[in-house]
Amino acid sequence: MVANPQYKRLTKAPKGSFFLFGVRGVGKSTWALTQFPNAHLVDLLDEGRYQTLLANPGQLALELRDLSANRLVILDEVQRIPALLNEVHRAIETTRRRFVLLGSSARRLKTATTNLLAGRATVATMYPLVPAELGEDFDLERVLRFGSIPLVWQAEDPRATLDAYVQLYVREEIKAEALVRNLPAFLRFLPMAALFHGQVINVAGLARDSATARKTVEGYLEILQDTLLASLLPAFEPRLRVRERKHPKFYWVDPGLVRAAKRQHGPVAAEERGALLEGWIFTLLRAHNEQADLFEEASYWAPLQAHQTEVDFLLRRRREYLAIEIKTQSRFSHTLVSGLRAIGELPKVVRRLLVYLGDRRLRTDDGVEVWPLQTFLDAVAGEKLWP
């Protein structure tokens, strides 16, 4: 068991009512109850409460009448009954009651007529634990092997918990909500999708490898995104004469989930490390950006005319760009910065960073900065990533 089971999260409560999304077990409920200890909780994982409100969503309004007008209401796993948002909407409009709406999927809510309360509630996302939250408990090898979803991180047996987590995801998020008609096909798809972690997504190849129709695979990828397990990183597309790649890169939100989907549980192999580290850094950047507005847009850079040239992340803030390349090597060599050298020709690139697992901070003759991982983590946490 990890010595400190309660970590201070980066998440800050927005003003007014808000949605807080995140994968199952990421700590949304714990955080909300800690932030709002006197709140009224409506837990839709409670089967009795769920069945009652599913049959009669209007009963929520009767329940709210007995509460003082200034008492905040936490609605947990709200995606299970999207119709409840009509009652939430009405309560916000008539009594200005504040709601915290927790969910592990936005799929059913996006298709509901409420349209996420038509802007009357802001939207936030909670990510797996990052080093700024873990403090001295942070262990890169453990993160790459088992991930950092709190439910798994704090478990006595993270391997068994990860296996159970994937089964729970399939059962609760997919089967219970009837998101797919052919569950066996989706189960075949998951390990194939894990193989594409950190790669440009090839839908045709993924469909072929999982013996599934292309349109079905496109739907499965949407499900992984809507249930917050994965996301797409678009290619940078400047208005230049040289065309850029159009296909996005595919990332799972947590290294442990990638490995569990592939049924890999042992120590991280050398061939896995690059994609796992790169994907974890992407989640790290998104987690800090959620609270600190580090950047306005993220993409990867890979010019069409140079197939071997790529930069993992290109962050935009206003009209400036920050280029970041992630490497697992512990020794610096000039071959590691070929992409960063090439992107130096792009206008408005104000910093080029190579993040590696060595311990020396360097700077090349043409201005590429070489940072140890810890230097990078400190800069992100301290909001000092930009020059």
Bridge partners of 372, per DSSP, are 356
Q: What angle do CA 228, 234, 239 make, to 5 degrees?
A: 155
pLDDT higher than threshold 90 for residue 186: no
Give the separation between CA 264 and CA 253, rounded to whole angstroms.
17
Q: Kindly report the number of other CB atoms within 10 A of residue 282's CB atom.
A: 23
Rg (CA), the chain: 22
Domains of the chain are 18-125 (3.40.50.300), 131-278 (no CATH), 293-381 (3.40.1350.10)
pLDDT band at residue 113 under the 50/70/90 scheme: very low
Give the separation between CA 375 and CA 361, rounded to whole angstroms.
8
Q: Which of 344, 321, 343, 341 is nearest to 333 (CA)?
A: 341
Q: How far does CA 370 lie from the centroid of its chain?
A: 26
What residues contact residue 347 under an 8 Å CB cut-off, 6+ apart?
none
Task: Determine the pLDDT at residue 177.
Answer: 55
For residues 347-374, give the mean pLDDT.
97
More confident of the two residues 59 and 202: 59
Phi and psi at 332, nearest 5°, equal: -80, 140
Q: Which of 245, 234, 368 is nearest to 308 (CA)?
A: 245
Q: How far does CA 301 lie from the centroid of its chain?
A: 21
For residues 133-141, give the mean pLDDT.
97
Q: Which of 27, 19, 34, 184 is nearest to 103 (CA)?
A: 19
Token pair of 168 as six digits: 């729970």
Return the residue matching tokens 């929520």.
60
pLDDT band at residue 240 under the 50/70/90 scheme: very low
Phi and psi at 153, nearest 5°, equal: -60, -40
What residues contact residue 340 under an 8 Å CB cut-off, 6+ apart?
311, 323, 325, 352, 353, 354, 368
The fraction of the chain above a pLDDT of 90, given in percent, is 71
**What average pLDDT does the chain have?**
90
**pTM: predicted TM-score of the whole model, two decimal places:** 0.93
pLDDT higher than threshold 70 for residue 5: no
For 61-84, the pLDDT digits (tens) are 999 999 998 999 999 999 989 899
